[in-house]
Structure 1
Amino acid sequence: MKLSKQDQELWEIIETSIKAAERGDVVHQLLMLSLGRVWFKHMKSAPQFLDVPGTEQMMAFHAQLGHIADWIDAAVMNDEPWLKNVDTQGRPKKLMKFSTLDQIVKEADKAMLKAAQTGRGLDLTGSSESLVAELAEGFYLVELHTPEALDRESAFMQHCIGQGAYDRHLKDGKHRYLSLRDPAGKAHVTIELFRSPAQVSNKEELSSLVSEEAAPDGHYWTIKQYQGKQNRAPITKYTDILVPYLKDCKFGISDQANGLNYIVDRNLNWHPVSNLPDTLDIAAFIFSGSNYYRDNDRHREKLRLPKTLLNTSHMCLTHAIFEHFPAHSLHNLLLSSCIIDSFDSKALIGENLKVSLINCKLKALPEVIDCLTAALDLRHVEQWPHTIKTKGRAIIRDLDQVSTPIKVNSEHIEIFLTTNQNIDVEHNLVSDGLGVHLSKDADILPRGINVQKLTVGPGNSKNVFIPDGTKVSLKIHIEGLSQIDHIHFPSSIPDRVLLTDGYTMNMHVGEYRRMRRQAAA
């Protein structure tokens, strides 16, 4: 089946994300048949933020990618029989039956628990594990050296480090596997270390990640995964026991190991998120508070961001609470499910800045947003900006929640409406192209449109009302045009403007008006 240009772009985004799992061609293809296919279907059903990789939906898929990849990788390594039970196109039927992420995760969990039941009886020799460090309260850290040691760890921790998925990394010199044990020898935390940097092509790119002083030979160890039992985040007690040793080793922390609740700067110094310095030198500032706020003592605690960020191009903050958001020189900013009291007036201004604000509770956005691209979810914003200006695309969700006029000037604007609320508010929407996506409870376009091309997705509505004063100079595209009972065209739209559904219907607005007059007569 041939994909549309937009669908092809989405498929490529998903394929690139899955390639990051680095599992080889066979596992990659199986991941695309299962996770990739379901991911694609899910994102097509929620198109409002297709090109924003930090949406809640995409983050959920990213969070489970490693777990699902471990399961499929182990299945390939062990030549599981279900891989040979295929359909007429050679696709494993087990993978093709999935329609949701939850179904795939449950299947991976089931395989993990089955392997755990068979792995507990392993008899390890003395060379399978070695002591790395003695820690507080009688705890100690061991390194796992053999497939049998990984299988035993997997059996007791009920995750997928065993079953063969990680065996090939044991001797490559780029991976190490550590296990935190209590005085009785019981495992509580599994750590995967990776010899960084990965895929760095030159010294300049390396220096953007870590200082030469911290990694004089160009390499350093990074905590790639930090997992508790059943892939849950380890409890705070175990993290507190481990952190002094991990800090002394000057390990980096990947975004997958963010449950440690520390930020590591370019000098490989560790900073607790509860007490960040005023100035922080870091390539990418990434933090998720979902594990941090799990501790009841931190409930609703407001974190303080650094006033100055050095050498930082990306910032991604999710599920966290901040009192104030300072102005920084960034290329990419993603805020998802955050609570923020205030912004610096220049926080969302930058010639090369790409901004994504998703499902955040904000008391007030800056009055002016001026950046390269913007994806803005305005559902939970108390005070809106009065000017949004982008060189590229601007996506605005729930503009109907905005009760004061907003001026939007962008190359292309996408607007999503869920109700006919605030229909009398006249915005100033100026663009080459504007896409308006209506829901079943919205059939009225916003006021103040001035564009060359207008695209309308009517949802389930049988009527489309284009307000008086709307200006369109070239074309109006209405999806499912033949299913629409009535379209209100104001006199401000000339008869010469082309009206189309992109498939079977092409006429000018003047023709449509004449047809309606004849039908009424």
Structure 2
Amino acid sequence: MANKYDHPEYREAVFHLSCELDIPDRVFMPIRNLVACSLGRIFWNDWRKQDAKDPEWMPTPGDHEDPQWHRIDGWPEQGDGHLSRKWSRRADLWLQWHSIDAWHVLDWLVSAQSDGHAWIANVDASGYPKKLTKCHTLERLVHEATKGLRQRNIKDIILGPEDENFAYDLGAGHTLVQLLSRSALRMEGLRMRHCIGHGGYDELLNEPECGFFSVRNENGKPLATLEIRSGLIRQFCGPANAEPSSAVKNLVAGAEVAFGWKKWSERRKADDDQNYGDEALVVLRDLPPAQRRPG
């Protein structure tokens, strides 16, 4: 792990991945080293493998018929800023392809840090949690995240009108309900078997640009959950983080038009760094190894 930190591009790569994850500073700061040695490490290794094949162009993964090709070298012919352009582009592509898995892992890290899970203090010689460094693929990280989040079991939640509210009639007896409280997020997470109820989203409930919504059938059963950020659909997940069915997507299309929501991939990219405070930028650009915790 230490060798990666010596590479001149490693901090640039992890910085742009952290920016692309779009985590508020107050949520990101306590877990920055956990992110660096888990998602950041795997992100870096994925691109090193790609560079060994072709450092300039790559096709969309899994598209074997007529794949879209992406330039990934940062357009060095444009001069200064080559590395920033390179890793900004790569972080954007990687999150397009792996966003659901990455945010699932992120929610686990937030929950584990908040709850003080013992595994965080069980570190290797470089000061990183062994539970994270033993995961060599994103799939393995997702597996550990799913196990870790499943350990929390919230029962006997009673919701009132202050917890969730009707938002939109989707037709065919289906409705869109806005989740307004921590209890509502807990219940949604339990019923949908995904991570919205494990604490990682609680602080966003008071953010005016954020909103959480549940697609319900005629019997009130949740079919999908949406996270909206500044009018953009940041996440749209079915049960157990599966992709929603085509029928559910079609139902939600009316709400997208009504509320003016756009896909996350359609957002206007902000200038690098402008959404981060000075303190966060210093940490992001110079991520040190985690300090050992007392046994």
**Does TM, normalized by the shorter one, top 0.5?**
yes
Quote the residue 2:176 is aligned against.
Answer: 141
1:194–1:90 distance in 2 versus 1, CA, 3 Å: same
Q: Which structure carries more strand by proportion?
A: 1
**Kept after mapping to 2: 8 A contact 1:78/1:164:** no
Quote the residue 2:67 is aligned against.
Answer: none
CA shift digits 1:133-154 (9 cap, x unpaired): 2231211111111111101111
Larger radius of gyration: 1
1:236 aligns with 2:239: no
- Among candidates 180, 191, 198, match of residue 163 of structure 1: 198
**What displacement does 1:95 show?**
1.1
**Kept after mapping to 2: 8 A contact 1:39/1:61:** no
**Kept after mapping to 1: 8 A contact 2:100/2:235:** no
- Among candidates 56, 61, 73, match of residue 61 of structure 2: 56
Instruction: Specify every segment of 5 or more residues in structure 2 that has no aligned partner in the other structure, as ranges.
Output: 63-93, 270-295
1:142 counterpart SS class: strand
In the superposition, the TM-score normalised over structure 1's length comes to 0.41
2:234 counterpart SS class: strand
Paired with 1:63 and 1:176, the residues of 2 have a C-alpha distance of 17
Paired with 2:260 and 2:176, the residues of 1 have a C-alpha distance of 16
1:114 aligns with 2:119: no
Quote the residue 1:65 is aligned against.
Answer: 102
Paired with 2:221 and 2:55, the residues of 1 have a C-alpha distance of 44
Q: Which structure carries more helix by proportion?
A: 2
- Structure 1 segments of 4 or more deviating over 6 A? none
1:33–1:53 distance in 2 versus 1, CA, 3 Å: farther
Matches within 5 A, 1:328-339: none
**What displacement does 1:222 show?**
1.9
- Among candidates 102, 111, 117, match of residue 74 of structure 1: 111
Paired with 1:4 and 1:143, the residues of 2 have a C-alpha distance of 43
In the superposition, the TM-score normalised over structure 2's length comes to 0.69
**Kept after mapping to 2: 8 A contact 1:133/1:140:** yes
Instruction: Specify every segment of 5 or more residues in structure 1 that has no aligned partner in the other structure, as ranges.
Output: 196-220, 256-263, 265-281, 285-521
Paired with 1:56 and 1:13, the residues of 2 have a C-alpha distance of 20
Paired with 1:146 and 1:75, the residues of 2 have a C-alpha distance of 21
1:246–1:33 distance in 2 versus 1, CA, 3 Å: same
Paired with 1:235 and 1:246, the residues of 2 have a C-alpha distance of 16
**Kept after mapping to 2: 8 A contact 1:11/1:40:** no
Paired with 2:19 and 2:33, the residues of 1 have a C-alpha distance of 10
CA shift digits 1:298-338 (9 cap, x unpaired): xxxxxxxxxxxxxxxxxxxxxxxxxxxxxxxxxxxxxxxxx
**Kept after mapping to 2: 8 A contact 1:82/1:94:** yes
Quote the residue 1:31 is aligned against.
Answer: 35
Paired with 1:85 and 1:54, the residues of 2 have a C-alpha distance of 39
Deviates more, 1:148-157 or 1:37-46: 37-46
Quote the residue 1:94 is aligned against.
Answer: 131
CA shift digits 1:251-287 (9 cap, x unpaired): 22212xxxxxxxx7xxxxxxxxxxxxxxxxx969xxx
- Among candidates 210, 216, 223, match of residue 175 of structure 1: 210
**Kept after mapping to 2: 8 A contact 1:19/1:28:** no
CA shift digits 1:121-177 (9 cap, x unpaired): 322233111111223121111111111110111111111111110000001212110
**Kept after mapping to 1: 8 A contact 2:256/2:262:** no
The code of the aligned residue for 1:40 comes to: W
1:90–1:168 distance in 2 versus 1, CA, 3 Å: same
- Among candidates 215, 240, 247, match of residue 257 of structure 2: 247
**Kept after mapping to 2: 8 A contact 1:15/1:32:** no
CA shift digits 1:475-503 (9 cap, x unpaired): xxxxxxxxxxxxxxxxxxxxxxxxxxxxx
Quote the residue 2:15 is aligned against.
Answer: 15
Deviates more, 1:80-89 or 1:123-132: 80-89
Paired with 2:135 and 2:5, the residues of 1 have a C-alpha distance of 24
**Kept after mapping to 2: 8 A contact 1:68/1:108:** yes
1:190 counterpart SS class: strand
2:167 counterpart SS class: strand
1:192–1:67 distance in 2 versus 1, CA, 3 Å: same
**Kept after mapping to 2: 8 A contact 1:18/1:65:** no
Quote the residue 2:167 is aligned against.
Answer: 132
